[in-house]
Structure 1
């Protein structure tokens, strides 16, 4: 508090003391000219006041140049108060020196200026009480004492009025100091709260980063065996086995698919957090998209004996149709999941923008949980983590996607009566331009020479077993160096490279593919397969220009990717 008070009084001093010095020069010259003050005394007094003003301004400049630790010393306030006391003595002396000149009325002129200086010291010096007292009391008390001792009714009246002035203005100065102290206290408290908020924010960001790092590491480590398991299941499909074994294999594959759903949802969250999901806005009619989504959910709604109704709309909107479809699919899936009877209604409301709304007659959302439903893995009435009720990531993805598209999401809900989710989408200004969708057909699977680079031995074995069962010639190694050594004795050039993104000793699949391409001086078709969900690695892998698949990769995905790459060659590089 003292540091703030001293800083305020030093920084506010220049204008006031400069004005007081100018007033002293005018008064001194006038009094010397009229003979009220002798020349020598008048010059000394003017010099005294101007020197005090200069000392105050010099102190201000020195304070501004001082470092923060130096400003915290006690000497600044004491020096300022000492200069103020000296200036106060100068003004107090003037009030006595010209007091006998009452017949000329000059004492009133001097007293008016002196009282103005005293009153002006309240805002200029009041923030630091010792400085205020140092200039205010020496300026006012001498005239009050002289008037009281001079005798006579007029001087007694002057003394009484001066005492009233000293008490009133002194009280205002003390009150000013208290108010200033309160303001400083409030500001310091606000700054402390702001610092606490920043610390809490940093802690929350650190916790969120730690969570993301944990999820990325756990996801990567879990994806590896699940990916290998899926490949082994694919390889087993080509092996003759009894009916009971086939049934067990179906159950194993169903479990692998369930894990794949979880990892895919985690990957969606990570990709959105990494900022690598690109928005491709275009104008399109909303009705075909809604019709397709509702048609896909009709069987699920019918199985629960609830109605699924779509109100038609002829409006064209402008946004990314694929991302909007993902948003609406998640919202409609949730509406059906949490509606036990009644119906789910999908429709649109036209205004400046189009609000796509999903109404349900379900269980509703408690008011205190509306914000929490968008958190990862949070599900109302599913504390036991029943996987049949979903993963708890759908609305977290919805929130991120609506923020990405700048399509505001609104939720209205009444407990026990149902909910309404609204997504506001911009209306298209122009008619949509439709382009036919070209679907590449893989046709018969081409066979070729495939190099697999993965540091996980189970995945090497699984990829080798699966790809050889599909008729490919396969070399499976753990690094780029190992691939170069194996290929040195192989006469044929690889037809395809499949590389894991993260390899030992800081190597990446990107560098390994580039080395092999440089060795053969050819754009060998290649793909990256990764189990990483860390945002920085996803960004780097996405920008590499190579086809990117995320573990666990299903056999159908892998088969289609291999067929397309071997038939059509390397894909075009992905723009940054």
Structure 2
């Protein structure tokens, strides 16, 4: 149970590392044979690698003690062997280090990283084959027994790597014990039958370690990997939830500001209507004519009705219940509808409203784009002195629908504020009817929905240009126009 607890602690330790969705991808059988890359398998490999190094240095120390008590190597050979022992150990540790630091998803995708265990095994096997050649002689000595015990302990710790890199485990044990057995036989230390018996005993020990101790870890490793997948999914879901929460807070703040502004504006308009009612009542009590007062009261009530309709529509837009339906739409058809809608209003106000013919077809929500143009044209007619021009043209980036007026202009610092709900710039003309302050806010919301951009250019005292910039991907070519009719 101690190993199981260590693995669980290892998993929670690595939990702070960023989990990648590629953790949920399945490795192929060959790839898993080279190295099984998950957080749980990596922690198991780290533990087993540490155990191997402990067994390695215990064996080295045992050989040093045996050599000191009964030397068979000269001083130069001894120091050479010890130097190679340290250097090869440092190389193997340096090669193993990246596997403990890189995310499992990176290891899965790199053949070079997956071959690192094989390289480590090859270096270790060459080292041990050379060491066996140095220390195993024709006589069975304590030195040979120490090496046998040391190699067995290293092999047992190596088999703990079976769930991580089975190919490396098989390669290591075959080369190591094959070289040791061949050296024993060639030096006449033991007969062939004894060597076979020794190898069978080693195989039995390794088999018991793999299929009894190590195999018990497979279920835990599988469950730990499933847990990592669930944690990964949970983190993704939490990120989405955080984004939704932020969106909800922003929406709540927007709604709060919206209804606060609407409530204040509504009370002002209702108070104005109430004053006109009181004025009419006072006129009737003094037997004066209340016709003009009642007429002004009717205008206030009409304005209040328009205001309520705009409030309801803007609230519907903010509630995101206005779906976008993209259809091929000729801009000229929208201009014709605008001309019919504003013709009487322009005549009444003595303003010249002109439309240039536009032979452009775009993919858009016709009702949304029409409402945007209605608000912009209505705004232009309200503030212009002489006339309003509406036109459309192709640009290098798509298409541009333009509304020109000859109004007082908009200050530079106010060109972003005008799109806020209930915002109205102060004007010098006191006779101009006060608007709701939602027209341009609706234009901005619809432009965002359609992925359009609104551009404002203005010169104080001369006029303002509003442009609806439609991206190139929404502009339909001439060949498509005929097919879409």
**What is the TM-score when the length of structure 1 is the normalising length?**
0.39
Bigger fraction of residues in helix? 2
**What is the TM-score when the length of structure 2 is the normalising length?**
0.45
